[in-house]
Structure 1
Amino acid sequence: MSVGFAFALTVLAGLATGLGSVLALFAKRTNTRMLSVALGFSAGVMIYVSLVEILQKSQEAFEGSLGLDAGGWAALASFLGGIALIAVIDRLVPTFENPHTVRRLEEMEESEVLRDITVDAGGGATVPLMPAAMAHEQDPRLLRMGLLSALAIGIHNFPEGLATFIAALEDPKLGVSIAVAIAIHNVPEGIAVAIPVYYATGSRRKAFIYSALSGLSEPVGALIGYLFLRSFFNDITFGIMFGIVAGIMVFISLDELLPTAREYGEHHLAVYGLIAGMAVMGVSLVIML
């Protein structure tokens, strides 16, 4: 398959963060039940495609060079290596700036509400409960949170973009499946960037731009990987990359997406979303593969 097709898939997956910002910025209130289902759905898609398809591709690639037994062990090692890699990255990112922590518009609006509340100062005069000086002090903190979220998402998305690109070069149908899974996963990440930037700057345009840019680390990862690794593309390279991305996607689903889905909705809603995501990805794999 052409390099152009593989690169286009990676760009489309990365731009899903911009879609997340649009959903967040133009919704009057956050639909927590729908958010819970969507996060569960995203986790279901990622877990299913990782364990059923991507990890299998990793093992097949290794077996082509190392044999049956050694190939299985190598695929397992790459899978666990991907889990370890994303776990280390998550540990280095403070919880407040974690890109998978979706903050609702209402949470950011609390500071706006406090600015408008006044108390009686006597003699018919009133003073704001939160003085303007204090209110303005919050803006840099919110902007910092949004920018750090964008940076953290960029770090997370870099290897995902490379994996999508390599998968599309090796197997276009698998590349499409991975791109769809990552795109769905990127939507809540776009929300995580857009909301704090919007409340820090008051600009939907800036919030959208920062959110969209955070997802463009995926095609950047694909481009850098292609330029520096194309001479090393072989069964071992594909096996390592498939195993690593499978581990990354499973870890993110279990550590972040599912817990967040349960937090924002009923337990059963997250489970229903999870099952629906697995079913949709399973059907799509049967049809495409």
Structure 2
Amino acid sequence: MEWLSGNNFLLALAVCAAAALSTVIGSLFVIFSREPNPRLLAFGLAFSGGAMVYVSLVEIFWKADAGFAALHDPRTAYVYATLAFFAGVLVLMAVDRWMPNPHAAITPGNGGDEHIKRLGVLAALAITAHNLPEGLATFLATLDNPVVGISLAAAIAIHNIPEGVSIAIPIYYATGSKRKAVIATVLSALAEPVGALIGYAILAPFLGPAVFAVVFGMIAGAMVFLALDELLPTAKRYAQGHETVYGMVTGMAALAASLVLFK
């Protein structure tokens, strides 16, 4: 099949790696910026959340439905796509309960150096755990349709920036080492392409309409949960006006425009 070609594989891996690298950008903001702009952060997070919700419900969910429709009647296909969607929600809920993501919630000055350093390590572990399914989602979406995959990667890249901040702040303030702060974010960022490769290695022998349908349904559910549980609430905490709703609508519009232009 076309989506198993070597060129598509390398493109999907490159897109996944590029989205992951934005985590490192977060650490650079911590090291080189004097004063972060909370309103811009709120807008960016909401933009990412809106883009994720839109692409999940308008494009990715219907890829799951189409995959199931190739094997079943339309009603059964829709039921299976819906079940896959909520299975994705449940999976991310389980990950979140097992290791809550301290996304953009860690600040210096709330304890001694060892306490702050420990928070940084916990942040890195939690964000790494969340990055694994994100990497697989970006990789498989790009493998199937580069336009959808790149759009999803852009949304993930935006929300990865404050995750890099969450890791770098406590590591930097506890150790005084810019190098260690950057290395910590690099290691966390690697979870996305690594997660993509591990997931692909497991799924590759079984890839076909049914597997893609299940995976895309779960991706759609997981991305919507991520946006509603993490991105939009965090954006609201940083907002000082209507940045959250403006960012969300702008993110949706940007994804809509990209899908319309490249259909």
Aligned to 2:32: 26
The correspondence for 2:247, drawn from 265, 268, 273, is 273
Alignment of 1:157-172 (within 5 A): 157-172=131-146
Alignment of 1:28-177 (within 5 A): 28-94=34-100, 98-103=101-106, 107-108=107-108, 110=109, 138-177=112-151
Matching residue's letter, 1:9: V
CA distance in structure 1 between the aligned counterparts of 2:154 and 2:44, rounded to whole angstroms = 14
Distance, in Å, in 2 between the alignment partners of 1:166 and 1:194 is 29
Distance 1:50 1:99 in 2: 24
Alignment partner of 2:120: what SS?
A: helix
Alpha-carbon distance in structure 1 between the residues aligned to 2:137 and 2:226: 15
Match of 1:256 in 2: 230
The CA distance in 2 between the partners of 1:227 and 1:147, in whole Å, is 28
CA distance in 1, matches of 2:196, 2:80: 23
Does 2:18 match 1:15? Answer: no
Paired residue for 1:226, among 200, 224, 235? 200
Partner of 2:261: 287
1:102 touches 1:189 (CA, 8 Å); kept in 2? no
Match of 1:130 in 2: none
Match of 1:114 in 2: none
Which of 165-174 and 186-195 deviates more? 165-174
Q: TM-score, normalised by structure 1?
A: 0.84
Partners of 2:46 and 2:231 lie apart in 1 by: 7
- The residue type paired with residue 220 of structure 1 is V
Q: Which structure has the larger Rg over C-alpha atoms?
A: 1
Structure 1: which 4+ aligned runs deviate by more than 6 Å? Answer: none
TM-score by length of 2: 0.92
The aligned length equals 257
Give the C-alpha shift of residue 15 in structure 1.
Answer: 1.0
Aligned-CA RMSD value:
1.6
**Alpha-carbon distance between aligned partners in 2 of 1:208 and 1:99, rounded to the nearest angstrom:** 18
Q: State the distance in 2 between where 1:262 and 1:220 align.
A: 31
For 1:281, give the aligned amino acid.
L
Show structure 2 runs of 5+ residues with no match: none
Give the share of equivalent positions with the same residue, in percent.
Answer: 47
